[in-house]
Structure 1
Amino acid sequence: MTIRLIVGLGNPGKGYQSYRHNVGFWFCEALAHLYTGHFKKEAKFLGEVAQINIPGCSVRLLKPTTFMNCSGQSIQSIANFYQINADEILVVHDELDISPGIAKIKSGGGHGGHNGLRDTIKALDTKAFHRLRIGIGHPDDKSQVANFVLHAPSKGELEKIQDALSDSLQVIEGMIKGNFDKVMKTLHTKE
């Protein structure tokens, strides 16, 4: 099993670029940069798409332009077109329940209140895709969550989030090749 599609969740537009909710976009942009891929708007996939070659594997990167809560439409359209199975998809998203500086990988599971994941599960009609969860921390008050994810992290938090993104990029080849146990060991022992 190899990963053929990596989806970064986020909201399109300059106004959202620096927000915590866009860490999925940040990861895909960094990955494209690392492997000299270039994003192009693809109307039929409701998103921006790049193609990269990671030793031995051709991988598509997707940044949906549907806004977070409708991410699934974009993912479903590209997965159907290229006949990509759910277990060949890695979705990268912000995670409130993990501290900044920590990244964790997970296969399957629920949406944990994340609307981008909720819509993806609904559109794909399965939970059987992989997730790279980038910790952004929690505002400690449930009523503040929407406001929290739609704001930029502090300078200190941003540095930690960038560390987590960097750690994740270092194990991307393992992720692509489906060596999740090894990747988990590397990422999850960082705490």
Structure 2
Amino acid sequence: MEEQGIQLIVGLGNPGPQYAGTRHNAGYWLVDRIVERAGVELRPDAKFQGLLARVSGDGGDLRLLKPTTFMNHSGRALAAVCRYFDIRPEAVLIAYDELDLPVGSVKLKLGGGHGGHNGIRDSMAALGSRDFWRLRIGIGHPGAKEQVIGYVLSRPSRVDMDAILEVVDQAEGCLPELLAGEYQRVMNRLHARP
């Protein structure tokens, strides 16, 4: 049986030029890539506290969201869009930076905990559910817990940035399968990477 496809992709990040190239904005980069390839435009929408775009295709409409509430309050924008468009958590994909995955890796999974990620923690609370899809974009770990905040809010090296953007491209290339609910096929493609 085919599962329901993704209807909303949320990229987590922090708004403003000072955060644009930082590791914590890896989720934004996926939404930016999809928008660029689809030839649509993200538009500010005050009622959704974020930038929103729509891509229309054979499988219906896909909404794209970049919350502008700052990472710790990402759930506000996400919940507002889900309520307005009547989108269930299982049809949501949240893309975000993952400290526990090496740079150049990406993992897709349904449900789970927040793993200490404040954007995911807030999204779970706002949705009242943990049963949404997550695209975890590996940014590596600085090695010590006390270095994490500075690390995620700093820019990756050119080599690391290229590796992160390569997996963002690969995830964007899986969009047709995500929209069709072919999650196992996406996992097979993305998780096969070294």
- TM-score normalised to structure 1 length: 0.98
Letter in 2 for 1:136: I
Q: What is aligned with 2:52?
A: 49
Q: Name which of 138, 146, 150 aligns with 1:147.
A: 150
* Aligned: 1:38 with 2:41: yes
Q: Name which of 64, 80, 85 aligns with 2:83.
A: 80
Letter in 1 for 2:178: M
Question: Number of residue pairs matched?
Answer: 191
Q: Name which of 28, 43, 65 aligns with 2:68.
A: 65
Rounded Cα–Cα distance in structure 1 between residues aligned with 2:17 and 2:179:
29
Percent of paired sites with the same residue: 41
Deviation >2 Å, runs of 4+: 53-57
Give me the CA root mean square deviation: 0.8
Q: What is aligned with 2:116?
A: 113
Letter in 1 for 2:14: N
1:53 Cα deviation (Å)? 2.5
1:171 Cα deviation (Å)? 1.1
Q: What is aligned with 1:170?
A: 173
**Structure 1 segments unaligned to the other structure (5+ residues):** none
* Aligned: 1:158 with 2:161: yes
Rounded Cα–Cα distance in structure 2 between residues aligned with 1:144 and 1:117:
20
- TM-score normalised to structure 2 length: 0.96
Letter in 1 for 2:24: H
Rounded Cα–Cα distance in structure 2 between residues aligned with 1:55 and 1:151:
39
**Structure 2 segments unaligned to the other structure (5+ residues):** none
In the TM superposition, what whole-angstrom CA distance separates every residue of 1:85-118 from its partner, at most 9, and x where no partner exists? 0001000000011111111101000000000000
Would the aligned equivalents of 2:6 and 2:62 in 1 still touch at CA under 8 Å? yes
